[in-house]
């Protein structure tokens, strides 16, 4: 028998849900069950691929902590991924036991949410465990609570072993008649790759930058004149200039692929923008043409480009920050 435990909390040391699933894993291991735990917060960038781990599983434990309201974002994202990327045929054979421990209010609602979600996915929910405690010390000081947890783990084992059946529910009817997802004609390998790409922020960001770079390249190939290239970005700076009294600074932008840097000189209400072979300024920045296009189109600020590493710069930080105040794209 194989059971996966999916923990949807934040992983803090005093999380009582961790105590519960640790105790359950001990019991299941003694019953010779193969148990694998997945801490969803450790897979926050690849949650879309977690439904792949449901294949070949007999049962799952969905465990989360109600710290404020509801089952939490990590568990909700995992359930979303099961709906969009999970193998519904595999899920329909899996028993699920919800474990919801609250430190505030709402453990019963959380348990009901997990049961409804799993039924809608087509799975088989079984008797769960929910409760309210102040902290993990409540479990440690009350041996009878540990006994209850152990019995719940044994019930899960017994339910899976006996392949217990249940009456049909309205959630199944809703799933079959209303909640239809668009099916894609993809092989399992292609579907898995799609899940990986959907969860990879770096891949999506790189694709966006590549599109911008290709747009610039094809614009040049389709007849952009030399005069247009020599004035590119200058018009954007001039039309979005918002003077700041008594402010003066010179910015040098070295744009990849350009023979000369873009020199932007501000002196009060006066602005001078031109391409020139200069390398001395209050701020010297280096960036790609794609990043500059994102900035002048208003999709990114200079400060954010510097913060996330898309633009390197040296000089006074205050001058760099003022860029977004005098040029509001």
CATH number for the domain harbouring residue 280: 3.30.1050.10
- Does residue 287 fall inside a structural domain? yes
Domain boundary at 195, 210, 242, which?
195
Shared-domain flag, residues 70 and 184: yes
Shared-domain flag, residues 10 and 134: yes
- Does residue 206 fall inside a structural domain? no
Which residue matches tokens 């292609």? Answer: 190
Burial status of residue 154 (CB atoms within 10 A of its CB: 0-12, 13-18, 19 or more): middle
The per-residue pLDDT for 183 is 46
Give the global pTM. 0.56
Share of the chain above pLDDT 90, in %: 50
pLDDT digits (tens, 9 = 90+) for 228-259: 556 778 988 998 899 888 889 999 999 988 88
The per-residue pLDDT for 40 is 96
Average pLDDT over residues 314-329: 86
Shared-domain flag, residues 316 and 180: no
- Does residue 203 fall inside a structural domain? no
Shared-domain flag, residues 76 and 170: yes
Share of the chain above pLDDT 70, in %: 82
User: What gap in Å lies between CA 7 and CA 298, rounded to an integer?
Assistant: 39
Domain count, the chain: 2
- Does residue 62 fall inside a structural domain? yes
pLDDT digits (tens, 9 = 90+) for 13-41: 889 999 999 999 999 999 999 999 999 99
Shared-domain flag, residues 176 and 239: no
Q: Tell me how far CA of residue 309 lies from CA of 108, 302, 316, in angstroms.
A: 45, 11, 17
User: What gap in Å lies between CA 295 and CA 305, rounded to an integer?
Assistant: 8
Query: Is the pLDDT confidence value at 212 over 80?
Result: no
- Does residue 211 fall inside a structural domain? no
User: What gap in Å lies between CA 288 and CA 84, rounded to an integer?
Assistant: 36
Shared-domain flag, residues 17 and 100: yes
Q: How many CA atoms lie within 13 A of 214 on its CB side?
A: 6
Domain boundary at 172, 195, 218, which?
195
Shared-domain flag, residues 166 and 64: yes
- Does residue 213 fall inside a structural domain? no
Shared-domain flag, residues 240 and 131: no
Give the domain extent around 74. 2-195
Shared-domain flag, residues 100 and 33: yes
Shared-domain flag, residues 166 and 236: no
pLDDT digits (tens, 9 = 90+) for 276-310: 888 888 999 999 988 998 899 888 889 888 888 88
pLDDT digits (tens, 9 = 90+) for 76-86: 999 999 998 88
Shared-domain flag, residues 31 and 115: yes
Is residue 65 within 8 Å of residue 103, measured between CB atoms?
yes
């Amino acid at each position: 028998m194989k059971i996966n435990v999916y923990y949807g909390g934040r992983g803090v040391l005093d999380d009582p849900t961790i105590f519960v699933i640790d105790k359950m894993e001990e019991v299941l291991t003694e019953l010779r069950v193969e148990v694998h735990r997945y801490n969803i917060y450790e897979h926050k960038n690849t949650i879309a691929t977690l439904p792949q781990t449901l294949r070949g599983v007999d049962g799952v434990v969905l465990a989360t902590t109600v710290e404020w309201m509801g089952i939490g974002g990590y568990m909700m994202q995992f359930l979303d991924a099961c709906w969009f990327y999970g193998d519904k045929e595999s899920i329909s054979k899996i028993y699920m036991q919800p474990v919801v421990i609250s430190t505030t209010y709402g453990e019963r609602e959380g348990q009901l949410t997990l049961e409804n979600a799993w039924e809608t996915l087509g799975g088989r929910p079984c008797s769960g465990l929910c409760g309210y405690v102040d902290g993990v010390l409540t479990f440690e000081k009350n041996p009878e609570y540990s006994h209850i947890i152990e019995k719940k783990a044994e019930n899960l084992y017994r339910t899976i072993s006996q392949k217990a059946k249940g009456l049909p529910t309205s959630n199944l009817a809703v799933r079959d008649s209303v909640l239809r997802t668009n099916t894609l004609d993809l092989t399992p390998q292609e579907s898995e790759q799609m899940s990986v790409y959907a969860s990879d922020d770096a891949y999506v960001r790189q694709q966006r930058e590549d599109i911008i770079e290709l747009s610039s390249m094809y614009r040049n190939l389709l007849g952009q004149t030399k005069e247009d290239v020599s004035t590119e970005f200058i018009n954007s700076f001039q039309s979005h200039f918002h003077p700041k009294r008594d402010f003066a600074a010179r910015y040098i932008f070295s744009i990849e692929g350009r023979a000369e840097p873009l020199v932007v000189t501000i002196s009060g209400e006066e602005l001078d923008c031109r391409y020139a072979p200069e390398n001395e300024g209050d701020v010297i920045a280096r960036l790609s043409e794609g990043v500059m296009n994102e900035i002048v189109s208003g999709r990114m600020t200079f400060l954010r480009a510097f913060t996330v590493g898309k633009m390197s710069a040296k000089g006074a930080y205050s001058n760099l920050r003022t860029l977004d105040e005098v040029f509001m794209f």
